[in-house]
Structure 1
Amino acid sequence: MVPAPLLLVEDDIQLAEMLGELLTDAGYAVDTARDGQRGLHLALTRTYTVMVVDRGLPAIEGADLVRRLRDRGVATPILLLTALGTLADRVEGLDAGAEDYLVKPFEVDELLARLRALVRRHASAAGTVGLGDRVLDLHSRRVLGGGADPVELSGRECELLRVLAAQPRRTFSRDDLLARIFPDADGTGVVDTYVYYLRRKLGTGVVQTVHGVGYRMGRA
């Protein structure tokens, strides 16, 4: 899949470099800003799947940055990182418009898990599922974006793509997909048939075959 764009606003150079490498390894395309003013500019001029913002930023403080973005209609989910761990600090950050709050020092695995949860919740609320630089609109059952014409999907095609895209690193067995999407079918051949349909409409790389195991999300 195309890496999901992420904005990291962090003034600690060593921490920013470490997080940038870890987030890139986790499948994000990371833009880094070292102060709130640069972060504001990037957030207003580019589109991100999620943002990670430090509280103690120069130029524009982190919570104020979040507040300015919300005032300008930027709805991208934001996780605040901070050394300020009091209840009042957390409430201030959340009231500014952040969806989540993580206090330093933190475990990287927890940060990554919280980011995955934010992306899932935001996509669900919007009625879309991210597919790299494209999205699956669950209401219209169309794949949009990526500089291509919209692609219409059937109900079963849409559900199969939704299940795979919701957990892009997971490999689903044919039996699992059969039980989730085609409970009325006689055998797993129907799964292979609908994978073929998706590949025909969206490209051969959209679903990856893991030989001997099943299928996983590929490159949309």
Structure 2
Amino acid sequence: MLTASEAPPGVHRLLLVEDDTDLADMLTEVLTDEGYLVDVAPDGQRGLHLGLTRPYDVMVIDRLLPALDGLNLLTRLRSRAVGARALMLTALGTVDDRVAGLDAGADDYLIKPFELDELTARIRALCRRASDGAETLPIGAGRLDLNLRDVLLPDGARISLSAREFELLHLLAVRPRAVHSRPELRRRVFGEAAATSIVDTYVYYLRRKLGRAAVRTVHGLGYRLGEL
């Protein structure tokens, strides 16, 4: 039996992170019948390992998970430049909960209990979005290439990035209108042990390579994506 990481061309690869065994088994059967190749993780730590080591088109992640909850799992995956589309499943239906999920990097949010037809329709929509442009993210007239981990300038030139430069620019490019504080960027890209000033250092590196307009300073608040 093929795993999602062994999917042939044209077959969508899906990661399901769900600790409810009965629900996970049922969803795996339904999604397999729909033509997906599915890997299942019963907790957040296993989901993190699979998400970092295998390629997926879509991730379906439960909000409340043992070992590592869904928000922290998705935040860690996004901080490591995992660009797969993400659908968050949750029994928590308040506006604040939905905002928290979207801010963590979710592309869509579905509240339990849900209809299977709605779930599969949302996954199909995410797969279409993945096929339409998951390989790059826009930076003004330029593009951030998620596979090559470099920047394609408007004139066709390519600029290579270090691992940390890529992670910082990717975090900004995923939510281009959002303003990110220095402490948030430090935590999500460099870890709690780093000094907050390391964010300014890497913004300087990006601007030196891509031009000053690539990252915008929002005085008193932090940084946001600029343009090339």
Question: SS at the partner of 2:100?
Answer: helix
Task: Decide whether the 8 Å contact of 2:91 with 2:111 is kept in 1.
Answer: yes
Q: Does residue 97 in structure 1 map to residue 105 in structure 2?
A: yes
Please, which of 30, 41, 47 is the counterpart of residue 33 of structure 1? 41
User: Cα deviation per residue 1:43-90 (whole Å; 9 max; x = unaligned)?
Assistant: 100001111000010011001100000000000000000100110000
2:123 corresponds to which residue? 115
The code of the aligned residue for 1:34 comes to P
Q: What TM-score results when the alignment is normalised by the length of structure 2?
A: 0.54
Please, which of 59, 66, 70 is the counterpart of residue 51 of structure 1? 59
Q: If you compute each CA radius of gyration, which structure gives the higher value, 1 or 2?
A: 1
1-structure distance, mates of 2:48, 2:134: 23
Mapping for residues 177-196 of structure 1, pairs under 5 Å: none
1:2 Cα deviation after fit? 5.4
1:138 corresponds to which residue? none
User: Cα deviation per residue 1:177-213 (whole Å; 9 max; x = unaligned)?
Assistant: xxxxxxxxxxxxxxxxxxxxxxxxxxxxxxxxxxxxx
Q: What TM-score results when the alignment is normalised by the length of structure 1?
A: 0.56
1:127 Cα deviation after fit? 6.7
Structure 1 runs (4+) deviating above 3 angstroms are none
Q: Does residue 84 in structure 1 map to residue 92 in structure 2?
A: yes
2-structure distance, mates of 1:48, 1:24: 15
The percentage of aligned residue pairs carrying the same residue is 64
Mapping for residues 199-218 of structure 1, pairs under 5 Å: none
Structure 2 portions without partners, runs of 5+: 1-8, 137-228
1:35 Cα deviation after fit? 0.2
Mapping for residues 134-153 of structure 1, pairs under 5 Å: none
1:74 corresponds to which residue? 82
1-structure distance, mates of 2:94, 2:37: 32
Please, which of 21, 29, 51 is the counterpart of residue 13 of structure 1? 21
2-structure distance, mates of 1:127, 1:87: 31
